[in-house]
Amino acid sequence: MFDEQLQRHREQNMGSNNPFFGKHHDIDARKRIGVAQVGNQHGKGNFPSDEIRNKKSVSMKRVWACKDYKARLRKSQIGKRSKLTFNQVNEVLNMLTSGMTMKNVALAFDVGIGVIRKVKNGTYSVKCEN
């Protein structure tokens, strides 16, 4: 189904239907684009050297060898995936309207700031409780 939508979108934006059709970037825009692309080697077949890869490997092995690293990582993720109930969403909205920061609300409900942002924007969907 996704492939069909992608194909339809491609066809809708082909040729004269493309919003940028017949237009060109001016010199300043080309310079800004060029500056933004400096150092971007994605897709050009340039990969880190073996020396760089070995340095990264040694570094990550050192991190994972730390005995309490996995425990700290696990502890930092506790409650981050918890879902808010309908009543909690209402409480979050009340706290936000009373002037509380999103960070403090997130800490109070043990969720990430992204969840609070979605509640604030009205895009958070509450799961039905059975």
The CATH number given to whatever domain includes residue 91 is 1.10.10
> Containing H/E element for 73?
helix 69-77
Residues 73 and 106 in one domain: no
Q: Give residue 130's pLDDT.
A: 43
Task: Considering only residues 67 and 14, tell me which one the structure prediction assigns the higher pLDDT.
Answer: 14
**pLDDT confidence band for 94 (50 / 70 / 90):** very high
Residues 88 and 117 in one domain: yes
Q: Is residue 40 part of a domain?
A: no
Supply the range of the domain harboring residue 98.
80-121
Q: Which residue has the tokens 């082909």?
A: 14
Alpha carbons 5 and 8: distance in angstroms, whole number: 5
Rounded (to 5) percent helix, strand, coil in the chain:
60, 0, 40
Query: Structurally, how many domains does the chain consist of?
Result: 2
Claim: this prediction has a pTM higher than 0.85: no
Residues 84 and 108 in one domain: yes
